[in-house]
Copies of this chain bind each other. A is one copy, B any other.
Amino acid sequence: MTSVDEPARPNGRIRDAARTQAEILDVATQEFARAGYDGARVDEIAARTRTTKRMIYYYFGGKEQLFTAVLERAYGVIREAEQELDVEHLDPVAAIRRLAELTFDHHEQHPDFIRLVSIENIHDAAHIAGSEKLGKIGSPALDVIRRILATGQESGLFTADVDAVDLHAMISSFCFFRVANRHTFGALFGRDLVDPAQREHYRAMLGDMVIAYLTAERAAG
């Protein structure tokens, strides 16, 4: 998340529309991720900003639109990260493993984003559905997977009958669950899935799983 740093003026208002909006988005992201959509408090967001509640309504229109804006920015960050993907110089197996690992890292580094997505699912993705921006955001990662998968399948290296979207779902499910369900899983089974000491273990597990799946010998069917 683009953090906003302060010009450190003692007191007296400063006018900076872009900064104010960014600051509201920063704080709103934290607050929504902390408490969910209905649990989040507009007053609380305002209080933790250098501006007032009035400005939230001035710039965003309302709580609902603010949440949509938060989602839009959060997905934008992902999209940017995905555009940095540089794995296609590797052989298909290494490329997929690397891609899975980068997904793993990204999910781990953005727990607030994971929470926002969980929250959005509780609301049946209504905000995504209502957002023009998010409707056509696409996914660079998906294109990368598609190309690697094609190469691997053509060469006979990958035997699995999956397309890019399915593979993306498989990778995401592992990475997402690990972060999103960390608390219930930890409370019920006494194991912290995000324990740093186990990080490499789970990272390898993901890669092994995906590669094993893609390259397994299948029974004739």
* Residues of A near any B CB (own CB < 8 A): 35-39, 75, 115, 117-125, 128-129, 134-135, 137, 139, 142, 160, 162, 165-166, 168-170, 172-174, 176-178, 180-189, 191, 193, 202, 205, 208-209, 211-213, 215-216, 218
B-side contacts of A186, CB under 8 Å: 125
Q: DSSP class of A's interface residues: helix, strand, loop or mixed?
A: helix
Choose one: B75, B120, B177, B211; the contact of A169 (CB below 8 Å). Answer: B177
* A218 to B207 alpha-carbon distance, docked (Å): 12
Q: Are A172 and B177 in contact (CB under 8 A)?
A: yes
Q: Which residue of B lies closest to A119 (CB)?
A: B122
Q: Are A185 and B169 in contact (CB under 8 A)?
A: yes
Choose one: B117, B122, B169, B187; the contact of A115 (CB below 8 Å). Answer: B122
